[in-house]
Structure 1
Amino acid sequence: MYTLDVSPERAGWAYSSLRVLPLGPGERHSFATGDSEWIVLPLSGGCTVETGGETFRLHGRPDVFSGVSDFAYVPRDARVALSSAEGGRFALAGARCGRRLPARYGPAGGVPVELRGAGACSRQVHNFAAAGVFEADRLIAVEVLTPGGNWSSYPPHKHDEERPGEESELEEIYYFEIAPSPGAEAVPGFGYQRVTSSGRGRGTELLAEVRSGDAVLIPDGWHGPSIAAPGHDMYYLNVMAGPGEERAWLIRDHPGHAWVRGAWEAEAVDPRLPRHHPPEVSR
């Protein structure tokens, strides 16, 4: 049923999960949340989410490049039913957690949209389930749009804090969709994702070509950039969770590349952004 199914067991880690669920017109799918909290996020189309006597109707969107979407949060230890009258594709972002929070609806109009970077490092971030924006126990999730030819997820960074004797690094999933080339012959697009090193001695050195539907798993260590090929806008969904008591993004730039942020002060944001929605600007 799922076109992508990343669980902690399959990933070899402890917390983060991601599934991508296609539903045909009129189809219905049920699942148990188990020991994880989940967010149902439409990638294309809309759906109805039913859980614990609550019903949330998600309007969704035509595709990930056309705007932000509404979404639904469903708690651990619950049964969930998804149905779609017209069909679509839906991301289920999850994290193992301890607290059971109430099921909730997240409106598209409440999603903070942020422009990060400048010049060829400009990108647009949809902070729909960022820490401090939407309450969850461990789950953090955001969407990023990168115009064709730009570098995103840059400078290289980690999601941890240097805390002696305490493990705090976040497990991260990147799920990609790449816009096809414009015109009658819509050639499938591609991009690249770099993982520069590992912080737990695993020796990971990766430069992966990514296409629509691909995912890259980052258990630890420095990672970035995400590179969109010219002519092909890149979308990725970030799903993160980790062992720390505090639910926080914990970003730390690679010390050899942190100077890049200062260089953005002299550059303008890419004029192709924002794609939609009034944004905040962050350097």
Structure 2
Amino acid sequence: MGHHFHHMEAGSGLIPSQDQSCALLKFSVIRLGAGERLDGTMEGAREGLLVILSGKCRMEVAETDLGVIGERANVFSGLPHSVYLPRGTTYSICAETAMEAALPTAPSDLDTEPYVIAPEEVNTGRWGTLNYTRHFREILVAPNGLPAASLIVGETITPSGNWSTYPPHKHETDNGAEKMHEEIYYFRVSSPDSFGIIQHYSPVQGYDHMHRVVDDTMIAMPHGYHTYVGAPGAQSYYLWALAGPDRVQGASFDPKLGWVQKTVSMI
């Protein structure tokens, strides 16, 4: 049906999402305790962006020591360190503290060197206005000139009680301003007792689903409109990753709700 929402599994090491609804995107989280090590390889002609969610680690990629990566205590306390992992690359992660990372991957035909994206290289700003204001962090997007084949990755912080990804939009076809991209959202919530709601719907595909978002949940969206709202009292975070035929972004608003952006300033 094109709606796939679930909790990520508990445990340590590399924890892949069990969802298979996206043809291009795959997603995993990495959890390591202090002193633990994870070795891996980007297999199957896929590229990845390892985004440090919390903690610090020492990374070696393609036998090159990248030094200590990561500095924020959690996703709400600062901007991320990230590491681009080209296809075929081997990597080792040695946790200096307890740490968590996100690892979205997508198909790649690009041969390039691995690289670090430091917090100061992340483009930040605000989307929306009023009670649908949210704060974006663009990590790996086409305008920043960093090499990638198909991945687009960023983060969004939604203030207490606000709407995000509003008006609802989709990006499932190449049609004028709209560009075809699959997308995943990976959620964290600043309070263990709080939650949010995501609506994912498609008149064409014939589904309309609402999901209760709590910490460490994700949704895969190969198509369909989507929008999110956080409950009052806590901030919400989601990492967004997209993949499609190219890295030029474009979306279409739900025509029943797109007029909202014209009634007030979006700046």
Q: Distance in 2 between matches of 1:48 and 1:196?
A: 41
**SS of residue in 1 equivalent to 2:83:** strand
**SS of residue in 1 equivalent to 2:84:** strand
How many residues get paired?
252
For 2:5, the equivalent position in structure 1 comes to none
For 2:207, the equivalent position in structure 1 comes to 204
Q: Which amino acid aligns with 1:79?
A: T
1:241 to 230, 236, 243: 243
Flag structure 2 segments of 5+ consecutive residues without an equivalent. Answer: 1-11
Which structure: greater strand fraction?
Answer: 2
CA contact (8 A) 1:38 1:73 kept: yes
**SS of residue in 2 equivalent to 1:109:** helix
For 2:9, the equivalent position in structure 1 comes to none
Q: Distance in 2 between matches of 1:60 and 1:205?
A: 39
For 2:87, the equivalent position in structure 1 comes to 76
**SS of residue in 1 equivalent to 2:142:** coil
Q: Percent identity?
A: 28
1:17-69 deviation line (CA, Å, top 9, x unaligned):
11111100011001110121111111110112211122223133100001111
CA offset at residue 92 of structure 1? 1.0
2:218 to 212, 215, 220: 215
1:68-111 deviation line (CA, Å, top 9, x unaligned):
11211110112111111112111112111221222011111111
1:175 to 153, 169, 186: 186
CA contact (8 A) 1:160 1:252 kept: no
Q: Distance in 1 between matches of 2:40 and 2:112?
A: 18
CA contact (8 A) 1:174 1:237 kept: yes
TM-score, structure 1 as length reference = 0.83
CA contact (8 A) 1:161 1:252 kept: no
Q: Distance in 1 between matches of 2:253 and 2:51?
A: 29
Question: What value does the CA root-mean-square deviation take over the aligned residues?
Answer: 2.0
For 1:250, the equivalent position in structure 2 comes to 250
For 1:49, the equivalent position in structure 2 comes to 59
For 2:135, the equivalent position in structure 1 comes to 124
CA offset at residue 12 of structure 1? 3.1
**SS of residue in 1 equivalent to 2:237:** strand
Q: Which amino acid aligns with 1:31?
A: G
CA contact (8 A) 1:97 1:137 kept: yes
For 1:278, the equivalent position in structure 2 comes to none
CA offset at residue 163 of structure 1? 3.9
Segment of structure 1 superposing worse, 155-164 or 23-32: 155-164
Runs of 4+ residues deviating >2 angstroms: 1-4, 160-164
Cα 1:151–1:163 change in 2 (3 A) is closer
For 1:95, the equivalent position in structure 2 comes to 106
Cα 1:3–1:28 change in 2 (3 A) is closer
For 1:145, the equivalent position in structure 2 comes to 157
Q: Which amino acid aligns with 1:258?
A: G
Corresponding position: 1:40 with 2:40: no
Corresponding position: 1:66 with 2:68: no
TM-score, structure 2 as length reference = 0.88
